[in-house]
Structures are given as C-alpha cells and as structure tokens.
Amino acid sequence: MTDDLDDLRRKLAILSEITDAHNRPSAGALASIARDFDFVRLNTKFFGYELAHRIAQELPDPAATRASIVGLKSKPSTQTDLESDWAAHWIRELHIARIMHRKIWEVCFLLQALHESDLLKPGTRGIGFGVGTEAIPSYLASRGVEVTVTDLPPSSQAAQGWLRTNQWAEGADKLFYPDLVSREDFDRNILFRFEDMNAISPDLEAYDFCWSLCALEHLGSIAKGLAFIENSMATVRPGGIVVHTTEFNFLNDRETIDNWSTVLFQRSHFVEIAARLEAKGHKVKPLDFNVGRKPMDRFIDLPPYLHQMSPEAQRWWGGDERHIKLSIDGFACTCFGLIAEKGQA
C-alpha cells in the first residue's frame, strides 16, 4: 500500500509540473491550474491586506478613548469589534498599531473582560498560561496587578517549536516591555514559572483571574483543550473569571482538525464546554457565534503565511499580515473568546 501511494504521489507531482522535461510549458490539465494558483493566492493576500490597511487608516484617532462597559459576550473576533471605541482604548493602552488583525482583537478582548469584572487594579492576582512573549503581563504589572506567568517547560517538544518562531518565554525577561512598565513595577509584580497546561499544579489557586491567548489549541487534541478550560477554573477564587481564546472553525460543522499540533474547535465544542461548566455551578458569558458581515469578516486569508514564504516572497509580501479570518489546513478560522465566572463554593 505504501509503495502504491508513493508511486501515485510521484505521478501527481509530474502532472503538476509547469514545465516538461525540455523546460517547455507543460500541457497537462493539473499543470495549467497549478502554474497560476500561487499568484492567485498572493493577489488575494495583497488586496485583502490593502483593504485592511485602508479601513484602519480611516478610523478616528483613539487618543480620546476611555474604558467603558459594553457587556462583552463569549464571541468570535470581528471587524466591528476592532473598529469599536472599547478596542481602540486597549490598543492605545498597549501602545500598539490599530490594524485589522485577530491577534490585536485577542488582547483587546482579554483586557475588556478584565475591565468589566473590575480586575485591572492594584492588589488583584492573575495567572496566565502559555503566554509566550505577550505584552499583557507588562501591562498588568503597570496597573499593580500581581501576575504569575507560565509557559511550557523547555524540555517539551512544543516549546522547541515555539522557540524557533520566538513565541516561547524562557524566563520573565522575555515579557518585559519598558514602554509599558518600569523595571521596578515589573520585578515586583511578575512571577514566572514553567507549567504544563495538561497537568496544572494544584498550588496554583485562589487567583482573581486566569487567561490564555490561542494556546489551548496546541495541547494535542480537542478533548485536552476542553479539559484545560475546565481545569483552569480551579486556579481562580469563587467569583473569579477565566478568559481563554482559541481557534474557531466557523464554516464547517461536519469536519475539523483534531489530534494534531493545532486543533480547530467548532460551535458544538463551545456549547459543550459551556454546558459542562454551568453544570458545575459556573457562569459562562452568553455564546455569540456571529462572525460578522463586514469586508474584513469575509476576507479569508490564504497560505502561504510569513513563515511559509521564500525569502524573495517575504521581501514583497511578508511582514504585513492583516486578517481576522484565515485558512488553517483548509478550514476557515478565526479567534473565539470564552469568558466564565467561577461559582460560589
């Protein structure tokens, strides 16, 4: 069977070649499709990113914004959110560019959830999982929040992968952003430790809040990701909250990616975990699955992404990723944020 598959792959590769053995244009049907497909994808990316850039340029200056209560739900990232005053406020607070990108939405979603629970104040205690090199810990420390920051042990295979892309924290110094916090406040309020998200240490408890940003989809399976959400409730006090974002396969309710390095959650999985948490007496912010109808909500970015591009492609198309939706292994995805409050003991 293996030999047959290898032979089939070789034949398909030959059919997909855009030149023949004499370097003349191939006349094969597959080749006629393949020869221009990469350019179609790059064209899509360019015009999508250009649209995102122009939309962001037309947004008002966020200098006059202030924190407000909007009644945040458990929801996916949308263009409307990124255009909102509440997102603009956190973008200004974090000293980051106001662009149409789901990763910007994630940090705004987290801070808005914490603000609405009155947790951005001195003396509050929070714990973050799989933080990588996020700026969030520095910002929280600047607000007087005491933060335990965790990331994967260096011996783990996943940590080695994140290290290669500069997304793994080997210590607290990787999390220090001097434009957000003084060294004194950072050292006073930040505690770093390694932690396995699949086996949370029992001494991590009684925090006011817990968070993770697009980390739980890398735990090995959908079941493990849902178990982490459930287990993370043990890290907070009664009345404390957990805020987690992850990948949302929003167009395909039949198939998804599981048992892989990056798994993709569906609507049914969020409904399931909400029911499990509520059955234990916790409160989950209402689930809202509206992925938006604005231009950037309908632009689904395509590979190659920056880490998949050749050096020449990076020169002309790299470094400007601006998307809210994207294709991951052939599935249309965006970020989904879940907020839950721990029930009274």
pLDDT tens string 48-81: 999 999 999 999 887 778 999 999 999 999 999 9
User: Is residue 148 one of the residues assigned to a domain?
Assistant: no
pLDDT tens string 316-337: 877 788 999 999 999 999 999 9
User: Is residue 178 one of the residues assigned to a domain?
Assistant: no
Instruction: Tell whether the model's pLDDT for residue 188 goes beyond 50.
Output: yes
User: Is residue 21 one of the residues assigned to a domain?
Assistant: no
User: Is residue 10 one of the residues assigned to a domain?
Assistant: no
User: Is residue 318 one of the residues assigned to a domain?
Assistant: yes
- Check residue 19 and give its pLDDT: 58
pTM given for the model: 0.90
Parallel, antiparallel, or unpaired: how do β-strands 207-213 and 236-249 relate? Answer: parallel
**Which residue, 146, 158, 345, 127, is CA-closest to 243?**
127
pLDDT mean over 280-302:
98
- Check residue 314 and give its pLDDT: 84
- Check residue 235 and give its pLDDT: 99
Phi-psi region of 330 (alpha: psi -120 to 50; beta: other; left: phi over 0): left
Instruction: Tell whether the model's pLDDT for residue 142 goes beyond 70.
Output: yes
Read off the pLDDT band of 165 (50, 70, 90): very low
- The encoded tokens of residue 1 equal 């069977």
User: Is residue 267 one of the residues assigned to a domain?
Assistant: yes
Domain that residue 87 falls in: 38-129+197-341
The total number of structural domains in the chain stands at: 1
Parallel, antiparallel, or unpaired: how do β-strands 75-76 and 146-151 relate? Answer: unpaired
Read off the pLDDT band of 169 (50, 70, 90): low
